[in-house]
Structure 1
Amino acid sequence: MSVLVTGANGFIGKNLVEYLGENGIETVDTESLGDITDDECFDKLDLSNLSCCIHLAAKVFVPDSWKDPSTFYKTNLIGTLNVLELCRRKQIGLVFVSAYVYGIPEELPISEESQIVANNPYGHSKLLAEQLCEFYYNNFGVKVSIIRPFNVYGVGQNEKFLVPHIINQALSHEFIEVMDLAPKRDYIYIDDLVKAIVSAMNSDIKFAIYNAGNGKSYSVKEIIDIVQGIVGSSKEVRSKNCSRENEVVNVVADCQKIKTELNWMPEYTLVSGLTKMIEDMKTKI
């Protein structure tokens, strides 16, 4: 049996496919997949022994979603619909990797039962896709596990994202500059997220939604301080004091549900994850 991973060439996808291969799980070659919004995108793939689908293909960068919301809605909603249709026809389960969809939280930590207020087009497109998943479970019997990762970071992440952006500057720039020092986020290392996804794939639960985080938040300033401590630098830190639209000040994930139902625990602290990233990025400079 094999697993279809959409978005296999992305940051999460590459790490997931590598982990599955190391553990003897075959993945479908999605090199010819094409546009996930195309109704015929799966026609060129060999899906004869398909046992599960893990859906990662998406538009993901929040600032870009404000500039081009229609592309985010099209890719993230229609793409998910096409995947659900495949799962319905093949009678296989789906792990859908969603996003942070809670907006400005009323209280911390944030559980899966907390109020949903998607506050950017990216998050809203993912929330609509979640609703599609639940509809297909309720009406077509498609087994679905939804993972809501908090802030993912790790080796191989694009440098337009905050953590590799900070590390790159700490290693090779005269100073470190960011948009805002204040926002606090709950960070999950890529290897921990991959194991959460695989745990959901192997679960017998028919429908569930899980947060995936570490249960502690760090500000941008705290991340810079930790990175500089690991690197051994004391570079000037500059902030543009520019907040994102609908900025969330602080988020902390309540991960008790995934720990209880899937027996999952994050293995990386922020320090150990950042250390691994820094070691990797040093070799590339």
Structure 2
Amino acid sequence: MLLLTGSRGFIGRALTARLRQQTLAYREINSERGGVTRPDNFRPFTACGIRHVIHLAARVFVPDSWREPGAFFHTNLTGTQNVLEFCRATGTGLTFVSAYLYGPPEKLPVAEDHPLHPDNPYAQSKALAEQLCGFYAREFDVPITILRPFNVYGPGQDKRFLIPWIIHQALHEERITLRDLQPRRDFVFVDDLIDALLLTLAPAPGLTTLNIGSGTSVSVAETVTLVQSLLGTDKEVTTENVRRKNELDDVVADISRATGMIGWRPKTSLEQGLKNMIEELHTPRGARQGEPRAAGS
């Protein structure tokens, strides 16, 4: 039996759909009644035979983290502390989904031993949560795998994020307008991340940290071109030439450790992932398999 936090968020919905396909039993803690920030919400699961926790619940949108840093630290740090305490008390292993924490890379590709330079409140909250994971693994013998996904995308993602926003504009706006076309990102399809999560259900003792990415980078401009090619559109692309605070020019994940330790490799090219997103948008809701529920953390 698995315990999932954040199962109604973007990644959580993809994970629960896969678990249902594979008939794997799971229980859920979601954002209702305080979610992971309230220790009492974990008590009903202490005698359920939980063998592993996948901790997805988090505040995640970076621009929001600059406006509400306290809310991000509360959810992402306090929530992780409560998860870790549940794991310590029940002898349960943990998979913690972290984030890109490396800041401007000193070299590419970026390996897990690269110095951490969290450069926004969201990343800082995840870095602090990782420190808690390290402490519980070291001092309380909780077996923990930390996954650091790079730029996750896929069907059902909030259109505030880059790829859904590009697709939305290509379909519904007169032109495609973006802040900056130059940055390069390592995009990883959500189904490939789910593969990685499922490979961590029998964690090694101690603490293991793994990058999850494609191992390549694509510019925003190249992504727009690919989206338009798949949609058959040729809309004007304009840029505001505005760089986000602490913008990164290029990021590429070194995924050799994930391949060596858990046998994971990404299977989905950016082109195929974009096709899947576009097909999902044109599929009638009643015909979708594993129909996702309302978004949330």
TM-score (norm 2): 0.92
Q: How does 1:52-201 map to 2 (within 5 A)?
A: 52-201=52-201
Bigger Cα displacement from structure 2, 232-241 vs 275-284: 275-284
Distance 1:182 1:242 in 2: 11
Task: Classify 1:207/1:254 alpha carbon distance in 2 versus 1 (closer, same or farther; 3 Å).
Answer: same
Residue equivalent to 1:17: 16
User: In the alignment, residue 173 of structure 2 is paired with which amino acid?
Assistant: H
| RMSD of aligned alpha carbons | 1.5
Equivalence for 1:234: 234
In structure 2, relative to structure 1, the CA distance for the partners of 1:12 and 1:76 (3 Å cut) is: same
Give the Å deviation of 1:33.
6.2
Given that residues 73 and 125 in structure 1 are in contact (C-alpha distance below 8 angstroms), is that contact kept between their aligned partners in structure 2?
yes
Aligned-partner SS, 1:180: coil
- The SS at the match of 2:158 is coil
Residue of structure 1 in register with 2:295 after alignment: none
User: How far off is 1:46 after superposition?
Assistant: 6.8
Q: Structure 1, residues 237-267: CA drift from partner, whole Å, max 9, x if none?
A: 0111111111111100000000011011100
The amino acid across from 1:78 in the alignment is T
Q: 2: distance between equivalents of 1:272 and 1:186?
A: 15
Distance 1:202 1:273 in 2: 28
Moved more, 77-86 or 33-42: 33-42
Q: Is the 8 A contact 1:59 1:75 kept in 2?
A: yes
Instruction: Give distance in 1, aligned partners of 2:284 and 2:219.
Output: 27
Secondary structure of 1:99's counterpart equals coil
Tell me if the contact between 1:203 and 1:262 (Cα under 8 Å) persists in the aligned partners. no
Residues of 2 paired with 1:78 and 1:68: CA distance?
Answer: 15
Distance 1:204 1:18 in 2: 26
Distance 1:80 1:39 in 2: 11
**Residue of structure 1 in register with 2:42 after alignment:** 42
Cα deviation, residue 47, structure 1 = 4.6
Cα separation, 2, equivalents of 1:46 and 1:154: 33
**Cα shift readout 1:199-258 (whole Å, capped 9, x = no counterpart):** 112343532000000011111111100000111111000111111111111100000000
Identity of aligned residues (%): 44
- Deviation of 1:171 (Å): 1.3
Runs of 4+ aligned structure 1 residues displaced above 6 Å come to none
What is the deviation of 1:282? 3.1
Structure 1: gaps spanning 5 or more residues: none
Letter in 2 for 1:125: S
Q: State the 1:17 CA deviation.
A: 1.3
Stretch of structure 1 that moved more, 199-208 or 60-69: 199-208
Matched residue type, 2:17: E
Closer/same/farther in 2, CA of residues 236 and 200 from structure 1, 3 Å limit: same
**Secondary structure of 1:48's aligned partner:** coil
Structure 2 gap ranges (5+): 286-297
Contact 1:28 1:46 survives alignment (8 Å): no
Output one character per residue of 1:177-219: Cα deviation in whole Å (capped at 9) or x when no partner.
1111111110000000001011112343532000000011111
SS at match of 1:36: helix
Q: Secondary structure at the match of 1:96?
A: strand
Change (3 A) 1:10 1:50: same
What is the CA distance between 1:23 and its match in structure 2? 1.5
Match of 2:277 in 1: 277
Paired letter, 1:231: L
Q: Distance in 1 between matches of 2:92 and 2:40?
A: 18
Letter paired with 2:261: E
Cα gap change, 1:47/1:3 in structure 2, threshold over 3 Å: closer, same or farther?
A: farther
Give the conservation status (yes or no) of the 8 Å contact 1:28–1:47: no
TM-score by length of 1: 0.96
Structure 2 residue identity aligned to 1:111: A
Cα distance change on mapping 1:33 and 1:205 into 2, 3 Å: farther
